[in-house]
Each structure stands twice: as structure tokens, then as C-alpha cells.
Amino acid sequence: MKKAVYLFNAALIMLMSSCGKKPQAPVAEKIPYVVKSNGNERVDNYFWMRLSDDQKNAETPDDQTARVLSWLNAENDYAGTVMKHTLSLQEKLFSELKGRIREDDETVPYLDNGYYYHTKYFSGKEYAVYYRQKTGSDSPEVMLDVNLLAEGHEYTGVAGTTVSPDNRLLAFGTDHVSRRQYTLQIKDLASGELLPDNIPNTAGLALWADDSKTFLYVSKDPETLRAATVMMHRLGTPVSEDRIIYHEGDETFSVQLGRSKSKKYIIIVSTHTLATEVRLVEAAGPEKGAVIFEPRGEDHLYSVDHLNDRFYIRTNSGGAINFRLMSCPENRTAMTHWKDIIPHRPDILLGNFEIFDNYLVVNERIKGLTNLRIIDLENNSGHYLDFGEETYTAGISINPNAGTSLLRYSYSSLTTPNSVYDYDMSSRTRTLLKEDEVLGGFDRNNYESRRLWATAGDGTKVPVSLVYRRGFICDGNAPMLLYAYGSYGISSDPSFRSNIISLLDRGFVYAIAHIRGGSEMGRQWYEDGKLLKKKNTFTDFADCARYLINENYTSARHLYAMGGSAGGLLMGAVANMEPELFNGIIAQVPFVDIVSTMIDASIPLTTFEWDEWGDPRKQEYYDYMLSYSPYDQVKEQAYPNILVTTGYWDSQVQYWEPAKWVARLREMKTDDNILIMDVNMAAGHGGASGRFERLKTTALEYAFMLDLEGIKK
């Protein structure tokens, strides 16, 4: 009977729409469920929306699955009905977005072990084709055509393409569900045949030993999807006989693999928010097992690389909150042997680094911007690259060869398309290898970018990057899209985004709030936006919005907010805390049911994120998280217009979080503003896998805002 009610809801929406009446939003059934934790109890009326993986994968849905699917389909039908009048605008936007992308495009080749590698896209194709070309040859060869792998599948993801040291075999991972559970496969590059070695439920990356017959990979926990165990496989042997090289027994840690610049070591990294531990496996003899580089310690984060009989270590040891760079001899890795190369500096965050035979390159974040510093190892002299723009993004690119003076790096800004350069560190000259071609008449001179500083409630200066079309009048009447993320120490850098041209050309300002919780202003910037200081992330965003309104860049009537995943949590929090600041909010795959998720250790990602959000089994963290949890803090008040997107197969933010949030918003909100949810029933956290298919969601998001602004074309 309940299933019939939900099917009736969906049918009712379509019937009322066809009669010209305002469609009625689906009304979710309330079934009280008590969520218990550490003596705390909360009633969750929409807990029934949660399905297990077994239920989702079953050929025949049970009653609960049928009810949930009916509800999600009803939401999709309702969203489609509400946005039906914008379909022509969505089609135009999709055409614009796609039209800026050069369909027959390719990446800049890089040289590794005698071959040049690049990927290429073809007109009308959604996926990349992986190529290589032997040095001295004029004939590139296809290694992997993802378009062929995708045939017959609604979703296809490929990860970890690695070629064996003898250049004969290609290892790669495929995911056709969007759960980031990859099946490893091996391809013979001479014959084009796939070997019978299929390994399911991996992280997607295989790293080869020197013999080109053995590789290491990471196996995932089938329930939590935690990357937990490093395995060794030998070609031609049953997967059941694979040997465990290392199992991470601490459920708050996950493991990942890397390779040293020297290619001598396969590096195993056990990591969580506050600590890391590195193990080394000799590529010439992986059967010897893994050796600890430096035992894990409380609040000690470090990473290593190796070249020319030395290890280089980026570490926060000794109170170096912004990290320092150290080195040690190959045979003396204990911390007592580490010596400073670049000491800690309180005003500069030391990011990733690249080592060469004669040079060292470090990515340093200074006043919120990325800088590339070149150090000559012979005389220890150094210099920075000058990029010549007020706000920009630069980063170290693919540099597999140590015996060169050429640094490959990437660069872009809010007005400069993504670019790839080779920089000669000896002559200090740079060569532009490629700047992404933006079709559709794009001219960077038509746009202007700025970097501003908003003041948070506690006096902290928060950087804001923004871009608009030249001729913009700062009178408060312009619509603005304000974006932010603000979690995990991930910085939202001002890089080029061709999609936003569709907004800029229609009078929008696009802004990025570099709020606490990221690392734009150093590691302390991150520390001040996590755990019991998490609310700084939300108040920073609101204060940036207020600043932009007060400075007449926009007004609350024309301001729109956007964020995804943890940035979607931000959207939910500010919607509850400061709804009057925004005319619309777009919450992409939003992490909005934080307390329930962090309580349940069986949910993917939970256990090793307790140091990010807090462990709600401890009362102090439970109370604090509950005080801002978007789902729990929904109240009777007016909310902005809201568009929510999610994916049914999302393994990072399960679909039921946004679904429950929308249901509760419908129950509680006192306004008549739009509230719709778009559920991609074939995708996960990253949305559709095809490079063009995902633009349909962007077109929907833009049409949502443009329609609210009365912009019809």
C-alpha cells in the first residue's frame, strides 16, 4: 500500500502539471526511528530512506527499496516539472558549455622510460584515449580507449594507468558503478589482449616491481570501502594466493601507494587527518616486505621521496605547523638523522615538492597564493617564478625524469585558461607548450579578476577572489555566484573555469571565498576551521557574503551560494544560520547528516574522518556537531530557493543524506520558494562520468539561477 502511495505522488505531480496547476511537491512519509549514541537519542523521521548496498544491488527490490526508489523518482519528476519551462534555456546553456570545449583535444606529452605519453579526445566521444609513442618513432599507439570500455555502461571510471618497467603491460582500474571500487585489469600492449588477472574491489592503482611480473595494489574493505590492505600479486597466479604486504589495522587510517622519484621504492603511506606513517618496499624485491621509515607519532604528518641515495622529507615535526623540508641518508631514516633543507616559516605553507639531480622545486603558499620556488642544489641559491597576475593558480606538473633542467608546471587564473609550461631552471626561460583553447569567441581581455579581503566577525581577514565582465557596474544590482569549500585543508584556488563564462556574459559576478577550513593562508587556517572550530567555516562564508553586499558587488536579492560535498554541508549550515543573505543556494552532493554518519562506523569514510569533524561518541563533539548539523538544525523559517543534487551510487556522501534533508526542509520551511532535488540514478559522488554528460547538471544549476534572475536567454 505504501508503495502505491509513492507512485500516486509521482503521477499526481505530472497530472497537475498537465492541467496547468502548480505542481505539488512530494510529501515524504514520517516513520520515527530512534538514533542512539553514547546515551544520546534523536528521533529521525526519515531514516527509512537509507538502503544497504545489498538492497541497491538486488535484482528484485524489496518493499523498502521500492518505496525509496519511488520517492527518489517522485523528486526527480517534481524537479523536472518545476524546471520544465527552462528546458530551452538548459539546452542553450548545454550547447554553450559544450561549445567551448575543443572536442578533438589532447594533453601535452611527457617522456618516461623511453616513451612519450599523452591522452586524446575525439569529436563526439565522452572519454579519453590513452596513447604512447616510442622515442624516435612517428607512430603513436593506442594503449587504452575508454570509450570502448564504456560501451553498454551508464557510468565508467578509469584509474591508475601504469606501464610495467619492460614497457610490455598496462595495468588499469575500472569502475562501472561509481562507488570507487575498481577492478584491476592487465593489458598486453603488443597483442592488445587482456590477461586473465582480474582483481576486484581495489583502489584502482597497481605499482609494478622491477621484474614486470609482480605488482602491489590496495584492497578495500567491502563494507566501509576503507583502503586497508596492501597486496602483492604475481601475474598468472590466482588472486586468492595474493600475499598481504601490509594491513592497516587502525580503522581511523587508510593506506595509499606511491613511487619514489628514483623508482627504487614503492611507498606505502598510512594516513589520517593528524598522522602519517610511511613504509618502503624495494621495487627490486617486494617479497622482502615493507620497512617502516619513521614510526607514526601523535600529530606527526610527513611524506617522503627518494633520489640519489637520499630521502627528502616534508614534515611538521618540531612544531613546524606550516611544514619544513628535511633530508637524510638512505641508510639512516630515523628522525634523529633528519637535517633541515628548508626550515619552518610561520608565514609560508610548504606544499608539495619535486626533486631533480641538480634542482629542488617547492610549491609554497604565500598570502593565500601558490608560488613555485626553484633551488639550485649546487650553490643553494633560489628564485621564484613571476606569474604577473593578482590572483592565479600554479602547480608542479608531471616530472618523471630527474636528470633534466626542465620543470613542467601548470598555470591558470580566473581569466587565463589552463596552461602547461616547461621552465628551464638553468637559463631561467619558459616555454608555453599549450594553453587550453576556449572556443565560442572567448577573449580574456573581456574579463577582469580581483582579489579582495573580507573581515570576519573575529577580525580575521579572509581573501576573496572574483571575476566579472569588463564594464561591470558596482551598484549592488549584479547577480553573483559565491562558491566555497572550506574543509580537509583543501584550498579553493582561483583557477580557470570555462563554464562560468555563461554566467559572466549574462552579467553575473563569480566569487570564491577562501574561508577557514582550507589551507589558503597556511596550516593554521585549516586548524581554525575543523573540529570544535568548524563554525568558523560557516561564519567566514556569511561574512564574505555580507562584505560583498556592503561593497555593492551584489545584494541579497541577487546573491547565490554554491558548494559541494563538505562544501554542501557549508551550504546547509548557512541556509539554517543566515537564510536572508541569499536568493538561492545550490548544494551539490551535500554532506548534511553529519552526526548520524559520523556515529556509524560502517559507512564509508567515517572512521578516518573523526579527526576532521570530531568523534560524536564523545559528548563534547556530539553536542558541537549537532549544533550545526544541517539536517538536525532545520527549523520553521523561510529558506532561500534551493537546488540539491545527488547521486544514487555515491560512496562518499550517501544519497539518503540530501534526500532526508530535502524531506525535512519541505516539512519545516515556511516559504513558497523553490526546493528541488535532482538525483542522478546512474552516478556517484562526481556525477556523470562523461566529459559532456556532466555538463547537463551544470546547465540545470545555471538555469536555476538565471530563471530566478528573470534571465530567459
pLDDT digits (tens, 9 = 90+) for 223-242: 788 899 999 999 999 999 99
Least confident among 48-52, 246-250, 679-683, 686-690: 686-690
φ and ψ of 179, to 5 deg: -110, 5
| Single-letter code of the amino acid located at 352 | N
CA distance 674 to 640: 8
Please say if the pLDDT value at position 12 is more than 90: no
The C-alpha cell at 95 is: 550547447
Tell me the mean pLDDT in the region 275-291: 96
Closest by CA to 566, choosing from 618, 605, 624, is 605
Residue 349 vs residues 114, 122, 337, 363, 391: alpha-carbon distances, Å: 36, 40, 23, 9, 17
Name 282's bridge partners: 265
Please say if the pLDDT value at position 14 is more than 90: no
pTM of the model: 0.90
CA distance 676 to 310: 56
Tell me the mean pLDDT in the region 520-542: 96
Please say if the pLDDT value at position 16 is more than 60: no
pLDDT in tens, 91-124: 999 999 999 999 999 999 999 999 999 999 999 8
CA distance 577 to 634: 9
Domain spans of the chain, in order of start? 347-440, 448-551
Starting at the earlier edge strand, list the strands of the sheet with 227-234: 157-163, 169-175, 182-188, 199-208, 214-220, 227-234, 243-247
DSSP letter, residue 49: G
Least confident among 9-13, 212-216, 639-643, 664-668: 9-13
Please say whether the structural domain 448-551 has been given the CATH code 3.30.420.40.
no
% of the chain with per-residue pLDDT over 70: 95
Strands 559-564 and 480-483: parallel
Q: Are 611 and 272 in contact (CB under 8 A)?
A: yes
Please say if the pLDDT value at position 390 is more than 80: yes
CA distance 587 to 590: 6
Tell me the mean pLDDT in the region 678-685: 77
Tell me the mean pLDDT in the region 512-531: 96
Please say if the pLDDT value at position 441 is more than 60: yes
User: Within a 13 Å sphere around the CA of 98, how many CA atoms are in the beta-carbon half?
Assistant: 19
Starting at the earlier edge strand, list the strands of the sheet with 141-145: 110-112, 115-120, 129-134, 141-145
Query: What confidence tier does 689 reach under pLDDT thresholds 50, 70, 90?
Result: low
Query: What confidence tier does 602 reach under pLDDT thresholds 50, 70, 90?
Result: confident
Q: How many residues does the chain have?
A: 713
Query: What confidence tier does 688 reach under pLDDT thresholds 50, 70, 90?
Result: low
Please say if the pLDDT value at position 555 is more than 80: yes
Least confident among 54-58, 248-252, 537-541, 659-663: 54-58
Q: Which residues contact 281 (CB under 8 A, 6 or more apart)?
A: 216, 245, 265, 266, 267, 268, 288, 289, 290, 291
Closest by CA to 227, choosing from 203, 246, 251, 207, is 203
CA distance 277 to 272: 9
Q: Sign of the C-alpha dihedral, residues 30, 653, 541, 469? A: negative
Residue 553 vs residues 389, 509, 655: alpha-carbon distances, Å: 21, 8, 35
Is pLDDT larger for residue 388 or for residue 195?
195
CA distance 2 to 6: 7
Is pLDDT larger for residue 606 or for residue 295?
295
Tell me the mean pLDDT in the region 374-385: 94
pLDDT in tens, 458-496: 999 999 999 999 999 999 999 999 999 999 999 999 999
The predicted pLDDT at position 690 comes to: 66
Neighbours of 247 (CB within 10 A): 11
Q: Sign of the C-alpha dihedral, residues 407, 413, 415, 418? A: positive
The predicted pLDDT at position 81 comes to: 97
Please say if the pLDDT value at position 535 is more than 60: yes
DSSP letter, residue 28: P
Tell me the mean pLDDT in the region 4-18: 38
The C-alpha cell at 470 is: 569588463
CA distance 507 to 477: 10
Tell me the mean pLDDT in the region 368-384: 94
pLDDT in tens, 125-160: 889 999 999 999 999 999 999 999 999 988 888 998
**3-class DSSP state of 330:** coil
Is pLDDT larger for residue 480 or for residue 380?
480
Please say if the pLDDT value at position 8 is more than 80: no
DSSP letter, residue 109: P
Residue 7 vs residues 4, 70, 665, 679: alpha-carbon distances, Å: 5, 6, 21, 17
The predicted pLDDT at position 297 comes to: 93
DSSP secondary structure letters along 434-467: EE--BTTT--GGGEEEEEEEEE-TTS-EEEEEEE
Catalytic (active-site) positions: 565, 650, 685
The predicted pLDDT at position 536 comes to: 98
Q: Are 594 and 573 in contact (CB under 8 A)?
A: no
CA distance 525 to 321: 11
Strands 302-307 and 393-396: unpaired
Please say if the pLDDT value at position 208 is more than 90: yes
Tell me the mean pLDDT in the region 175-197: 91
Give the relative orientation of helices 566-577 and 535-550 as an angle to the nearest 10 degrees.
70
CA distance 494 to 511: 9
Calculate the average pLDDT of the chain: 92
Please say if the pLDDT value at position 539 is more than 90: yes
- Residue labelled with grid coordinates 604565500: 366
The predicted pLDDT at position 9 comes to: 43
The predicted pLDDT at position 52 comes to: 85
pLDDT in tens, 54-88: 888 888 889 999 999 999 999 999 999 999 999 99
The predicted pLDDT at position 1 comes to: 27
Neighbours of 107 (CB within 10 A): 17
CA distance 9 to 140: 56
Please say if the pLDDT value at position 19 is more than 80: no
The C-alpha cell at 265 is: 621504492
Please say if the pLDDT value at position 21 is more than 80: no
**Host H or E run for residue 498:** none
The predicted pLDDT at position 683 comes to: 65
Name 230's bridge partners: 218, 246
CA distance 680 to 697: 9
CA distance 429 to 407: 11
Please say if the pLDDT value at position 685 is more than 80: no
The predicted pLDDT at position 22 comes to: 79
Q: Are 594 and 653 in contact (CB under 8 A)?
A: no
Q: Are 27 and 9 in contact (CB under 8 A)?
A: yes
Q: Are 679 and 643 in contact (CB under 8 A)?
A: no
Please say if the pLDDT value at position 357 is more than 60: yes
The predicted pLDDT at position 413 comes to: 96
DSSP secondary structure letters along 336-398: GG-EEEE---TTEEEEEEEE-SSEEEEEEEETTEEEEEEEETTT--EEE-----SS-EEEE--
The predicted pLDDT at position 223 comes to: 79
Q: No. of H helices and E strands in the chain?
A: 14, 37
CA distance 177 to 201: 12
Query: What is the separation of C-alpha 25 from the centre of its chain, rounded to a whole number of angstroms?
Result: 31
The predicted pLDDT at position 213 comes to: 97
Query: What confidence tier does 4 reach under pLDDT thresholds 50, 70, 90?
Result: very low
CA distance 368 to 522: 8
Closest by CA to 663, choosing from 681, 643, 682, 677, is 677
φ and ψ of 299, to 5 deg: 60, 25
